[in-house]
Structure 1
Amino acid sequence: MQPALGLLLDLSRQVRELLRVELSLAQTELRERGKSIPSSLAAVVIGLIFLPVGAVLFFVAVSLALTRLGAPLDLSFLIVALVLLAGGVLALRWGANRLKPSRLAPVRSISQISSLLGEF
């Protein structure tokens, strides 16, 4: 009977050690994923700044173009506004995509821990 009890104790010790290692891996993954949050937030903020500025410049350019058809100043306002709008949209989408919870969750660790716990 003693060898079976020893095997069960050894098994429980190994399971505890495996859970500890997996939880440590999950913490590491969360830390790594969390590092991308500031740059993603910065991209969202830049997008939120560029969009209104680009929109204002676009409407100024359109109004100037209507009053002075073909003036180079109008064209430059229009080009700057379109570039700001495009940059703002790209930055906003990039930042928002990187902030999705599915991209921040530690997928490997969670699946490994859940499969481990599901066996018992």
Structure 2
Amino acid sequence: MGRMSPEQRKDLAVKVACYNTAAPELVFAALNWHTHPETRQKAADSIPPIVRNLLEAETELAALRGTVARLIVANDRGHDYNLGDLRQAVKDAGIDLTPEYTAADALARAQENEAL
């Protein structure tokens, strides 16, 4: 995946600031425009919100990668970070993993119950 530079993300953020993110229906409309001519206008209207989705994903990915890299380098240099530190650093970077934690916890509980 070709990643945007911080400057490109900043420039794009200015251009899509007035748009909300795209609902899944808009993403599908954009994807299906070539087979359903009647959806072309909706597909065209969906482009800025889809770009906003992509920008938010790029921004979150860059923050996550930077956070993980900083902790790994710090560990390599003698600091003793643990997964709790990673959780806090990710939270401090503005990334909310609550849905992922909830799903992982439910899976772990199910596996524990199967083992009994």
Which TM-score tier does this pair reach, normalised by the shorter chain?
0.3 to 0.5
TM-score normalised per structure 1: 0.35
Between structure 1 and structure 2, the one with the greater Rg is 1
Q: Which has the higher helix share?
A: 1
Structure with the bigger RCO (C-alpha within 8 Å, sep 6+) is: 1
